[in-house]
Amino acid sequence: MKQISRFILVAVLILSVTVLNAQQKPKIVFQDLNHDFGTFKEEDGPQTTSFEFTNSGDVPLVLNSVRASCGCTTPKWTREPVAPGQKGTIQVSYNPQNRPGKFTKSVTVQSNAETPVVNLTISGVVEQREKTIAELYPRLLDKLRVRTNTISIGRITSNESKTGTLELVNDTDEPVTVGFKSVPPHIVATIKPEVIPPKGKAEIKAKYDASQKEVFGYTSDRIYLIIDGDDNYRNAITLSATVEEDFSKLSPEDLANSPVATWDSESFDFGTIAQDDKVEHSFELKNNGKRDLIIRNVRSSCGCTAVTPAKKVIPAGDSVPIKVVFDSKGKRGRQSKTITVITNDPKNSTTTLRISSNVETES
């Protein structure tokens, strides 16, 4: 009987301690869990609000961490323990710079409270500020500003012409005269107006005639400008294009008798090599079609990779090795390079070969 009484007494004591511990958990109570900044201007700068909380528990409250969901949101909080019945704050700032439009961000609060994780939310709408000329046109060409110094023609067939444009801005207080020092023969370029007034604009139009340049794949040319008599080579814009062969006029018979490019493989891993090693591998290209297969262009992604086709015209049923030499000088770690091969195969004119290796350096 005494043993049963002792058992009951121990059980009651354990239960009492458990209840007491549960009652002694701090409790974090926020006045608000959300704050809406409303609409404000980007130039107004960071916006700040404070979330106030109370420890309604029986023991001190400690905030273990306060983490924002975005680098644009910065929290500051009460670092010391908050005694029962006392208040603390979490200050949250939002930086609107270069972030126009609506936003909603969260702040995760972790503590030793009865509810260990609480999420706070801030929201609002940022009105975009008017950008300066320097921000809209960040690149400089002598006295002039441009968004970019490249005119991209994009994809163009080998018998086609396309025109691209580039806007020039004179952000000075004096007129600026612009002309051309040199333009490639397959490009026709004009500037209007040639004298750009103060705070004014001009437009370069460049017509690219692919039929006048026997090249396939990605290509780029430079157009050199004379600005107020200065023909500095830095005053240049780049015109880029990707030239593709036009197969649209081939008849069904032409397609049936066309060349067919077939590769033994399209990737090769040299494995682990030492720095300064030169390694080589040959990909085999076979013509499984009925007419000559012509290699139009071969281009590697890196100067460290040399590519040498044994020949550029492959008769039907014949094959040719494409030797690739990789120079690991100055390289370290995992390397991956590509070789783009363009042929006159109408169904598969472009093939990307890949080589890889792991370059180790002496310890």
Are 52 and 140 in the same domain?
A: no
Q: Which of 36-45, 254-263, 298-307, 339-348 has the lowest mean pLDDT?
A: 298-307
What is residue 254's predicted lDDT score, i.e. its pLDDT? 94
The CATH number that applies at residue 35 is: 2.60.40.10
Question: What stretch of H or E contains 5?
Answer: helix 2-23
Query: Is 19 a domain residue?
Result: no
Which of 244, 271, 288 terminates a domain? The answer is 244
Tens digits of residue pLDDT in 255-276: 999 999 999 999 999 999 998 9
> Do 178 and 105 share a structural domain?
no
Report the pLDDT value the prediction gives residue 4, as an integer from 0 to 100.
54
3 state DSSP class of 10? helix
Residue 363, pLDDT above cutoff 80: no
Task: Look up residue 96 and give its two tokens.
Answer: 């609107």
Q: What is the pLDDT of residue 310?
A: 87
Q: ∠80-83-86 over CA atoms, to 5°?
A: 100
If pLDDT is split at 50, 70 and 90, which confidence band does 19 have? very low
Q: Give the whole-angstrom CA distance, residue 64 versus residue 111.
A: 5
Task: Report pLDDT for 116.
Answer: 96
In this predicted structure, what is the pLDDT of residue 141?
Answer: 93
Q: Are residues 232 and 143 in the same domain?
A: yes
Whole-angstrom Cα distance, residue 115 to residue 53?
13
Tell whether 144 is covered by a domain. yes
**1 is a domain residue:** no
Q: How many CB atoms lie within 10 A of CB 255?
A: 12
- CA dist 278 and 276 (Å) reads 7
How large a percentage of the chain has pLDDT more than 70? 93
- Determine, yes or no, domain membership for 168: yes
- How far apart CA 343 and CA 321 sit, in angstroms, is 14
Q: Report the pLDDT value the prediction gives residue 28, as an integer from 0 to 100.
A: 96
Query: Is 110 among the domain residues?
Result: yes
| DSSP conformational letter for 306 | E
* Res. 12: pLDDT tops 70: no
Please say which residue of 102, 127, 152 terminates a domain.
Answer: 127
Query: What range does the domain containing 105 cover?
Result: 25-127
Claim to verify: residue 72 and residue 107 sit in the same structural domain: yes
Residue 20 placed within a domain: no
Give how many domains the chain has, as a whole number.
3
Rounded to 5 degrees, what are φ and ψ at 62?
-125, 125
- Name the domain boundary from 244, 269, 298: 244
- Estimate the share of the chain in helix, then strand, then coil, as percent rounded to the nearest 5: 10, 55, 35
Instruction: Report yes or no: 309 and 343 within 8 Å, Cβ to Cβ.
Output: no
Q: What is the pLDDT of residue 170?
A: 96
Shared domain check, 239 and 138: yes
Residues 236 and 285 in one domain: no
Phi, psi of 321 (to 5 degrees): -80, 140
Going by pLDDT thresholds of 50, 70 and 90, the confidence category of residue 23 is low
Q: How far is 243 from 154, CA to CA, in rounded Å?
A: 8
pLDDT one-digit tens code per residue, 132-183: 999 999 999 999 999 999 999 999 999 999 999 999 999 999 999 999 999 9
Q: Under a CB-based contact definition with an 8 Å cutoff, are residues 122 and 107 in contact?
A: yes
Q: Which residue has the tokens 């593709």?
A: 244
Position 37 pLDDT exceeds 80: yes
pLDDT for res 272: 94
**Cα–Cα distance, 217 to 202 (Å, whole number):** 31
